[in-house]
């Protein structure tokens, strides 16, 4: 099972291939993102490619990917890093 890392503000170094992040929504739905890659676009802006799964009580309801967000948007959307 995943363990939570101590709460801290995420940095670019935290977001790397294989890292897992989550956010718990108000209705106790848990959205989990697994990083596939981090690459920079032609302007040098880093983007995160990731797979997302959504579930409740250890039951996965939805899974999709890959999705892409800028690194800054990704860290705002998924503020909680999980450790294996």
pLDDT of residue 84: 52
**pLDDT at residue 14 is higher than 90:** no
Tell me how far apart the alpha carbons of residues 84 and 59 are, in angstroms, rounded to a whole number: 19
The domains of the chain, with CATH numbers, are 3-83 (2.30.30)
Model pTM?
A: 0.81
**pLDDT at residue 6 is higher than 50:** no
Tell me how far apart the alpha carbons of residues 71 and 28 are, in angstroms, rounded to a whole number: 25
Q: Encode pLDDT of 19-48 as tens digits.
A: 999 999 888 899 999 999 999 999 999 999
Q: Encode pLDDT of 73-84 as tens digits.
A: 999 999 999 975
């Amino acid at each position: 099972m995943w363990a939570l890392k101590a709460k801290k503000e995420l940095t670019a170094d935290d977001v790397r291939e294989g890292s897992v992040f989550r956010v718990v929504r108000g209705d106790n739905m848990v959205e989990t993102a697994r990083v596939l890659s981090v690459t920079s676009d032609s302007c040098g802006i880093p983007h995160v490619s990731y797979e997302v799964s959504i579930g409740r009580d250890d039951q996965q309801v939805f899974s999709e990917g890959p999705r892409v967000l800028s690194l800054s948007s990704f860290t705002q959307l998924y503020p909680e890093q999980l450790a294996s």
